Amino acid sequence: MASTRSKAETKAIPLDAFGRDVERRRQAAGNIEVPRNEGTRRTPSKRALLKAIEDSGGNW
Amino acid sequence: MTSPYRPEFEAGLAALARVAERMKAQGCLPPVLVGGGAVEIYSNSAIITGDFDISTARQDVFEQALREEGFIRPSGAGKATRGWIHPELKLGFEVVSDRLLDGNAERDRVRRISIGDEGEIAVISVEDMIADRMGQYASGTARDMLDQAKALFRLYPDADRAYMERRIREETAGDHGIDTLES
């Protein structure tokens, strides 16, 4: 498991390596559920942006 | 490049990397991914619904780079937004702040992640992300934010506890600390 560090690393970590570390952490932590944002505090701008994404065919 | 992230999320990170490289070429600091997008990258959970929140002091340069990458600003009745969408990628970016958590997050803790040949992205530290979620929880009844913070806390037992304790206290006006995450 890659340690978090107190200061920024000098070299960027590749996304696939980062993702594999996240997967290791998930396995080590057991049953982790991370809820989606409930969306109750969205600004009008955010709501409009999400609507535009939806209208473009985005399926998230 | 193979990663465990969902392809549409990875496409968003690649777009952010291209934009960041354009900004760096102009001598600007790269934009920082915050909000649900940062939670998603730290947890590999499907958090966001296509919108990536960004912190950058150079919104003008960021938005010019978005234009050059094919992003457009939605216009028309009922479409007033500060955000930008990419019609083909079907995702959006929105600048939510010009200073990282109002300037309270330490910039040199930002994580740098390489997105293959596209470039690098910058992501707010997990400690600051937890503090941000706790701040939102403390400001209302956002149970989902507390649950996100607790999940990240469990995933990152090696996080910098002293820094995280201080940042949670700052974001919650002293009402919460690591003890809330452990309860």
For B118, residues 6+ apart whose C-beta sits below 8 A from its C-beta are B14, B17, B18, B21
Q: Does B43 touch chain A (CB under 8 A)?
A: yes
B104 and B131 share a domain? Answer: no
According to the model, what pLDDT value does residue A39 have?
78
pLDDT at A6: 47
List chain B residues with pLDDT less than 50: none
Residue B84 per-residue DSSP state: E
Query: Looking at the domain assignment, is residue B180 inside a domain?
Result: no
Q: B81 at the A interface (CB within 8 A)?
A: yes
Chain A residues 22-41 within an 8 A CB cutoff of chain B: 22-23, 25-26, 29, 32-38, 40-41
B24 and B37 belong to one structural domain: yes
The Cα–Cα gap between B108 and B13 comes to 20
Q: According to the model, what pLDDT value does residue B142 have?
A: 80
Neighboring chain B residues of A35 at a CB cutoff of 8 Å: 144, 147-148, 151
The whole-angstrom distance between residue B54's C-alpha and the CA centroid of its chain comes to 6
Q: So what's the pLDDT on residue B137?
A: 94
Q: What is the pLDDT of residue A31?
A: 82
Residue B125 CA to residue B106 CA, distance in Å, equals 9
**B47 plus B134 within the same structural domain:** no
* Residues of A with Cβ-Cβ distance to B1 under 8 angstroms: 14-16
Q: In chain B, which residues have their Cβ closer than 8 Å to the Cβ of A44? A: 80
Question: Do residues B71 and B22 both lie within one domain?
Answer: yes
| Residue B108 CB neighbours (<10 A) | 8
- Number of A/B CB contacts below 8 angstroms equals 169
Q: Are residue B83 and residue B136 in the same domain, yes or no?
A: no
- B69 and B101 share one domain: yes
CATH (domain of B93): 3.30.460
Looking at the fold, whether B167 and B106 belong to one and the same domain comes out as no
Domain count, chain B: 2
Domain that holds residue B159: 127-172
pLDDT at B141: 67
CA distance B115 to A14: 6
**B111-114, strands of its sheet edge to edge:** A13-14, B111-114, B120-123, B32-34, B51-55, B91-97, B84-86
Of A4, A32, A49, the CB nearest to B92: A49
Q: Residue B36's pLDDT is what?
A: 93
**Shared-domain flag, residues B119 and B58:** yes
Whether A4 and B127 lie within 8 Å, measured CB to CB: yes
Task: Clarify whether residues B101 and B138 are in a common domain.
Answer: no
State both tokens at B92: 């959006």
Predicted structure pTM score: 0.93
B21 touches chain A (CB under 8 A): no
Asked if B82's CB is within 8 angstroms of A45's CB, the reply is yes
Considering the domain architecture, whether residues B81 and B137 belong to the same structural domain is answered as no
Q: Mean pLDDT of residues grouped by 10 in chain A (60 residues)?
A: 52 95 95 85 89 90
For residue range B48-98, what is the model confidence (pLDDT) as tens digits? 889 999 999 999 999 999 999 999 998 876 677 889 999 999 999 999 999
B168 found inside a domain: yes
Residue B75: closest C-alpha in chain A? A52
Query: What pLDDT, on the 0 to 100 scale, is given for residue B73?
Result: 93
